[in-house]
Amino acid sequence: MPKINSNGIDLFYETRGAGQPLLFVHGLGSSLRDWEAQAAEFSRAYQVITYDLRGHGQSDKPRGPYSLPQFAADAAGLLKTLGVSSAHVVGLSLGGGVAFQLALDFLALAKTMVIVNSAPELLVNTFKDRLAIWQRIVIVRLLGMRKMGEVLAPRLFPLQEHAALRAAFIERWADNDPNAYLASVRAMVGWSVKARLGTIRCPSLIISADQDYTPLALKEEYTRLIPGARLVVISNAHHATPLEKPVEFNSALQAFLEQHP
């Protein structure tokens, strides 16, 4: 199994295809397996790179604390070790935060940036925000990762035809290390790069599900802060859009990439 030492830890990664490098960064509690439909499609024309974030999948799971700059430095080290000078970077949810941070901290590495169902900050300002974080911590500590997966699965894949996706999600979620998962949750809380969005210079695309956790209005707001960025909305979709709507998602991503060869 291929691993690369980056930023002091071993990261599990996979590469497929040849051409311009295209890096996919998964979300919280997930792994590179979430990008199977994209790797199969885009490896026909690109060098697709997927990997497990620290604390996830088959990558190392050091003790926390973790941080978004640390996640971005891990990705930068992976790309540099692979000999990649710049890549198209696609990030989902937590991976979107990593993509933001990578584009800001390692300017030359991000050829383009695609943010999927994410935001440039996670500030806990209200009781509702605090409750949502507290609930995750309590469920994981008292009931375990499988229970956390069982709670999340119906929110991510609520339709009857999503039964197989829900079952696969729960099984994969149960594999998470609880301490690494909670360290990743804490890395997101209080993080913000919103004030720096005006300095992003790479072509940028924001992809949003119309039924995502994060309000569409918020994405419209921060899209305007990124020079030249545009927003694409995928209808009848939820937070895990690349898994739920792979055809629509791949089409939106392909159209963007073709504009920036």
pLDDT for 1 beyond 70 = no
> Could you give the count of Cα atoms lying within 13 Å of 250 in the half-sphere of its Cβ?
15
CA 174, CA 202: separation in Å to the nearest integer?
37
**pLDDT more than 90, % of the chain:** 92
- Alpha-carbon separation of residue 60 from 66, 74, 200 (angstroms): 12, 11, 30
Residue that is written with structure tokens 């199969």 in the block: 40
Task: With a cut of 90, say whether residue 248 has pLDDT above it.
Answer: yes
- Tally Cβ neighbours within 10 Å of residue 38: 22
Q: What is the pLDDT of residues 27-36, one digit of tens each?
A: 999 999 999 9
φ, ψ for residue 252, nearest 5 deg: -65, -40
Task: Report the C-alpha gap between 149 and 166 in whole angstroms.
Answer: 9
Sheet holding 3-6, edge to edge: 3-6, 9-16, 46-51, 20-25, 87-92, 110-116, 204-209, 230-234
pLDDT tens digits, one per residue of 126-183: 877 788 888 889 999 999 999 999 999 999 999 999 999 999 999 999 999 999 999 9
Enumerate the domain spans of the chain: 3-121+194-259
Confidence of residue 61 (pLDDT cuts 50, 70, 90): very high
Cα distance between residue 191 and residue 122, in whole Å: 6
Angle at 65 between CA 141 and CA 58, to 5 degrees: 75
Span 3-121+194-259 CATH architecture: 3-Layer(aba) Sandwich (3.40)
